[in-house]
Amino acid sequence: MFLISAFSLFSFFSCKGYQDLDVAGFEKRLSEDSTVQLVDVRTAEEFAAGYIPGAVNIDWKSNDFQALAERMLSTERPVLLYCRSGRRSAAAAQSLSKAGYEVFNLAGGFIAWSEAGKAVAHYEVERFLTDSGQPVDISLIKHACLELRYKGMSIQVDPVIKLGQKETDYAAEFPKADFILVTHEHFDHYDAAAIGMLTGEKTQVVTNARVAQMLEYGTVMANGDALELLDDIRVEAVPAYNTTEGHLQFHPKGRDNGYVLTIDGLRIYIAGDTEDIPEMASLKDIDVAFLPVNQPYTMTPEQCINAAKVIGPKVLIPYHYSNTDLSGLPSALPEMDVRIRQLQ
């Protein structure tokens, strides 16, 4: 009878092709195995309302779920799935297991996770597609703090633990970064403790000379430098400085960086702290631009409008704007996709 029971149990799991885990088992697997790939298969709207830290979103109900999953996920690393209650993720788990993935499903889903009082992240996430259709997910953390996720890799930009009332637990909410980009040394862009939380054995910190001096390590980039991070990821350091009289001391010319990231053809401009400088005219084929709007330290709304017209990005996301009124930007740039997000 024991053999029959064991065989039946084996047959059951073989038929399913994946394993269900309760909240404790799911959390244990997440914490003990750094290679796992955590996937939320709910809709983008559900994901935006709150998700398990470190998850990427691939909607099970989308027509291209399987193709997107196979582009984003490696068959050489285990996949942990969840949805609202466990039903959609069970179906997704079975589909992925047939494609050769080792899959674990969260029984009870996000509801069980939340009711158990486990950590939940709440950041807006913008998704853009590269030339080959690979998604780049950008988490809008706060102010000038961003995370870009691509092929399971994490690129953190200007990570800072606390700004005003907003605090980010980078150790709990994000994986170790593959790359960390720091634009300059001001407290709202440079935080050694945050960098420490995100640094693993393979993390590469890229920054300007002053931050590298303060950290006592890091890859230094000056304005005009370019660096191949990977075969399909290139970063260029571009100027970021003030031009208004009386403000020049905040960000002197030549000290700080903005960055242009080219990820498999997708070009993302992260301006850092700057005004609408002449060098912006040389930026070409920008898909997404993050422009700061916060005088006296960066741009006025009028300067941001001028910079956007010069650069011509497909998508403009103002950031680092504190109490600045951005309501006039969309109407001033009617041909541009202007997205006002919570990046005060």
The residues assigned a catalytic role are 83
Neighbours of 25 (CB within 10 A): 14
Here the tokens at position 113 are 């996770």
Q: DSSP string of 178-227?
A: EEEE---SSTTT--HHHHHHHEEEEEEEEE-HHHHHHHT--EE--TT-EE
Cβ-proximal residues to 166 (8 Å cutoff; 6+ apart), any chain = 142, 143
Give burial (CB, 10 Å; 0-12/13-18/19+) of 284. exposed
Long-range contact list for 113-120, CB < 8 A, 24+ apart? 113/23, 113/26, 113/52, 113/82, 114/50, 116/23, 118/23, 118/27, 118/52, 119/52, 119/53, 119/169, 119/172, 119/173, 120/50, 120/51, 120/52, 120/53
